[in-house]
Every structure is written in structure tokens, then in C-alpha cells.
Structure 1
Amino acid sequence: MVNSNGEILADDEAIFTYNNRAFKYGDALFETVRYVNGTLFFWEDHYFRLMASMRILRMEIPMEFTLEYLEEQIKKTITANELENGAVRIRLSVYRNEGGLYTPSTNNVSYLIEVSSMKSPFFTIDNGTYEVELFKDFYVNKDMLSNLKTTNKLLHVVAGVYAQENGYANCLLVNTDKKVVEAINGNLFLVKGNEVKTPPLSDGCLDGIIRKNLMKLIAASEEFDLVEASISPFELQKVDELFITNSIIGIQPISKYRKKEYNGTVAKSLVGKLNAKARIGV
């Protein structure tokens, strides 16, 4: 069951026409949220990122689009799928209503909520092999649109196909300045000694929710020093650790890049703190 503009529909029920702007132009945003036993992890951060992104894309924000309304609709969808007592992956998509060509005939929007069950109630560390490679066929632009979670993800799709064809778990993406900015499905962090480094938003990485909250944890820690700076591909084989973050996996350690193998010591030390922050919602 899915939720289309507040109406619960069967998975196989038709929702879109061929004029849907998300289909035709990628004119849409989405948030992927983790839910556990009544709690939406980092929900306020997701909500305010969505609102800010809608303003940037000149979408009209409906009066009913309050924090409470969208949370209610998400939980309504979870209940309709009988998942309220477990761990759930949520995708909330917002798309401009159909009409027009490149220039829309309206800025009004619709939304769709999809849910699916997850195995683990909290973020856990995967200790298995996780090898990555640079993807250099296409580049991330250094602009604000790259910071947004839009459905314009062709670069990420092609990078995913490249990773699959070559036996990699993921790829690292580079921007037009040849700086490493993120992974296909999340933000990137490097660890060397007690320094934890991540690219700045100005380099074109996604303005990730876990990135934001992990940076706060690291900055407040006496154990680590946080650095937000551009990352050269040459740095990747000189650091002690690499890991990826997103709202579903939390933290994913990278085990290998080319000839360099990494440990996941810092990632393991941070995941417990991230779970605690998610539970109390601050």
C-alpha cells in the first residue's frame, strides 16, 4: 500500500499519467527516512531539508505541509502496511504537478509515500568486504542543485551500473575540479589519525542528514578533529579509514580502494553515538 496525496492505494493501482513531470523531467525531490517503533529518525532535519529544497526549486509549498501533517501521513502509510512495530524504510517523494514543457504550467505539487520493512531496528556496522573505485566517466557539478536530493540521478545510476559490471560495492564520484565528493548513495568521510574529514557542500556533495548529524557529533568530541575540506583522489590511499553515510545504512565502512585496505575502527566507535542521537532526536 502507498500513500498518494493522503489516499491509501494498492501497490498496483495507477497513480501517474504519461505527463507526470517527475517522469518527463526529473522534476521531483525525495527524502529517505528510517522509522523504528514509532520514531522517525532525524525527522525534523529531513522535513526542513525538504522545505528548503522545495523553495530552491520554486515549488509551491501547500499550507497543510506541516511537520506534523507529513509525519501523520507517513505513520498512516506504515500502519496501512502493518509495519508499525518494526523497522521501516520510507521514501517520501514530492513532485511538481503535470503541465507545461521545461517551463511548468503550475508550481503546485503532489506527494507519494512508499514504505518497506527492514531487518535491523538501528544502525549497524557491516564488517564484510566493501571495495570501491573512482567513477570518472561523468562529473558532479559544483552547485546548489547537487546538494539537493532530487530525482535527477542519472550520474549515480550509470556509476551504479559501472560498479556492478566491475564487481565493486560502490563508486566514489568526483566533481568538475576532479575532487572526490561522495559515494553513489551517500556522503564520504576520511580518517587519518584523530582527524575526520569530509568534503564541503561547495564541492557539490549531497547535503546529507547523517552527514550533518555526524559532523555535529565529531565536532563535539574530544577524541576527533573535524575537517571540512576538498579531497584529492591521491588522499584516498594515504588515510587510515574511509566510510560512507546515509539515512538508511547509517555508517558503511569501506574495506578496500585499489591496493589500500582499511580498518573500520572509527566507524564502529561512531555508530553507537549515532544510534543514541537518532533515538533522542537531537
Structure 2
Amino acid sequence: MPLLLYNGQILPEEDLRLPLSNRAFQYNDGFFETLVLEKGMLRFWPEHRERMEEAGSVLRLELPPELLTDCFPQIVKELAEKNHCGSITRVKFKVWRAGEGLYTPQTNQTDWLVTVQSAQTPIEEPLHVGICQTVRTIPSVFSSFKGINSPVYVLASQEKTARGLDDLILLDPAGNLAELTYSNLFWVKDQSLFTPALETGCLHGVMRRKLLQWARQKNWQVQEGFFTRTDFTGASVVFAGNVTGLRMIETVEGERTGAQSSLLHQIWQELKI
């Protein structure tokens, strides 16, 4: 029986009971974070903690003290061990405002939940993607972190399945490239790293943070901006990136893109150091 961590207490999954007044259920009043535990270490933990602090600040939530200490990765590791997870574990951390009330909260204190499950080695085959036609991103102060309310990604994922594609590129309201359904979007030209600006409504992903930091350390040019499909022209490689890794995009709407997989492999190996 799976075990989870709820407000610092380990309990069986079937024993978790949340009231109907739960604000995550009623108002999506919270956020979540997906992490990877690999060989007992939380991958990119400082960047995850930074993003969670940003989300807490925007939502005016008082984050649990356990989250802000260096002991949290060890707590997650012990939970994974109790669940007999393998060498790679998918960790989901959910935070929501405690208390009841209507739109006006009673408190800024939080309840929180950590779940773990064994994960597979990430797929490395190139992606074949399209441009999403049904929905667009919704740029706001909330779009940079993972909110509990995610209908844009749900509807885009349904379109992806219906079209038989690996993923879709979401556009912002003005028609600029924004992100994929579960990854940020990147491409490389002449030692310059390109990625859509946060103002497009894309997620301020952990991998995005790491890649921009890596590129600047390598003295590459970093271009965050408003782009269209034509900006892929001449790219050495176009790729998706999230905390699980990097994956090359081979075609967009059936048209081939730059495909230097060796460059992408090199970048990922350096990021993991």
C-alpha cells in the first residue's frame, strides 16, 4: 500500500481524508511541484525551492518550515525508500491554503502533501510536434509556476492525442511561441540559446533556469523573446526541456528542424554535473 507524507506525517494513501471545504478542491488555491529523486538525490533542488518560494510569495502563502530547510531532500528520500521506489523516483509536492472560507481566505497558512512513485528512464527518441489550435497560454502573475488549475494543458493534451503527435507547441494570445504541454521550448543557433520570454505565459521551469545559467557560464548569447516558427530556421537543434531531461524536436507540423543530437547530449551531460 503506497505511503505518502501529509503535513509531515507518513500515512497510507487510503487513510488520507480531505474535507469538502478544502481550498485546493474549491478554489485551486495552491500550487504543485514535480521533482526527480535520482540515486537518493533531489535533482536541481535549489532551483525547485526557489520556484516554490516564488509561488508562495505570489499566492501569499506561508510555506511549511520543513520545505525551507536542507533536511527536506532527506525526508523525500526516506519516503521513497519506504515505498520501495527504484533508482529514479517521481516526486510530487502539493501546497494549498489551509482553512475554509469563500474567496476571502481565513489564513495564509498551508497544508501540504508529498507523493512518490517509481519512474522510468526518460525516453530519448526525437519528438514530432504540432502547433496547438484549440487553446493558447494565459499570461499572468500565476503562469510562471505550476498551478493546481491546468485546463490549458489538459485541452492541449487532448488535441495532441487526437492528432497522433508526441506533443504540441502552445502559442501566446498574440501568436508567439510559448511552450509545450509539459516542457519549455529551446533552440540553438551559433552558440546562442533561444527560448520564449516569460511574458508569453510559459512556465518558469527548473530546466529553463538551469539552461540559461549554463549558457551564460559558457559565454553563449541568451535570447529570451517573442518568436514565431520561422525563427527555427537555421537552428542546430530544437528541443524540449523539463526536470526529467532534454528531448530533441525532429519535426514541427511535419517540417524537419535542426537535429544535432550530439550537441543536445553534450548539453545534458554538462547540466547533470
Instruction: Please give the TM-score of this superposition, normalised by the length of structure 2.
Output: 0.90
Counterpart in the other structure of 1:36: 38
Mapped to 1, the partners of 2:235 and 2:74 lie a distance apart of: 44
3-state DSSP of counterpart to 2:223: strand
Shift of 1:17: 2.1
- Say whether 1:194 aligns with 2:191: yes
CA contact (8 A) 2:187 2:193 kept: yes
Identify the match of residue 84 of structure 2 among 82, 85, 88: 82
Shift of 1:149: 1.6
3-state DSSP of counterpart to 1:139: coil
Counterpart in the other structure of 1:259: 254
3-state DSSP of counterpart to 2:70: helix
- Say whether 1:147 aligns with 2:144: yes
CA contact (8 A) 1:196 1:226 kept: yes
Mapped to 2, the partners of 1:195 and 1:260 lie a distance apart of: 22
Gaps of 5+ in 2: none
Identify the match of residue 207 of structure 2 among 210, 232, 245: 210
CA contact (8 A) 1:187 1:208 kept: yes
- Say whether 1:247 aligns with 2:243: yes
3-state DSSP of counterpart to 2:95: strand
Mapped to 2, the partners of 1:63 and 1:271 lie a distance apart of: 32
3-state DSSP of counterpart to 2:48: helix
Please give the per-residue CA displacement for 1:136-159, whole angstroms capped at 9, x wherever unaligned. Answer: 322212322111221121100110
Shift of 1:20: 1.7
Distance 1:127 1:138, change over 3 A: closer
Aligned residue identity for 1:241: V
Mapped to 1, the partners of 2:161 and 2:11 lie a distance apart of: 34
Number of aligned positions between the proteins:
269
3-state DSSP of counterpart to 2:114: strand
Mapped to 1, the partners of 2:150 and 2:60 lie a distance apart of: 20
* Structure 1 outlier segments of 4+, above 3 Å: 62-65, 236-240
Shift of 1:42: 1.1
Shift of 1:240: 4.1
Distance 1:23 1:264, change over 3 A: farther
Shift of 1:236: 4.0
3-state DSSP of counterpart to 1:144: coil
Identify the match of residue 167 of structure 2 among 155, 167, 170: 170
Counterpart in the other structure of 2:225: 229
3-state DSSP of counterpart to 1:60: coil
Shift of 1:180: 0.9
Instruction: Please give the TM-score of this superposition, normalised by the length of structure 1.
Output: 0.88
Mapped to 2, the partners of 1:72 and 1:102 lie a distance apart of: 36
Aligned residue identity for 1:97: A
Counterpart in the other structure of 1:126: 124
- Say whether 1:55 aligns with 2:89: no
Aligned residue identity for 1:131: H
Shift of 1:206: 0.8
Mapped to 2, the partners of 1:259 and 1:137 lie a distance apart of: 19
Mapped to 1, the partners of 2:194 and 2:182 lie a distance apart of: 18
CA contact (8 A) 1:139 1:174 kept: yes
Query: Which range moves more in the overlay, 29-38 or 262-271?
Result: 262-271
Shift of 1:268: 2.0
Counterpart in the other structure of 2:16: 14
Pairwise CA RMSD of aligned residues? Answer: 2.0
Aligned residue identity for 1:221: K
Shift of 1:79: 2.3
3-state DSSP of counterpart to 2:134: strand
Counterpart in the other structure of 1:280: none
Please give the per-residue CA displacement for 1:183-238, whole angstroms capped at 9, x wherever unaligned. Answer: 1101100223433200122222111111111111122225x432122111333466
Gaps of 5+ in 1: 277-282
Shift of 1:66: 2.3
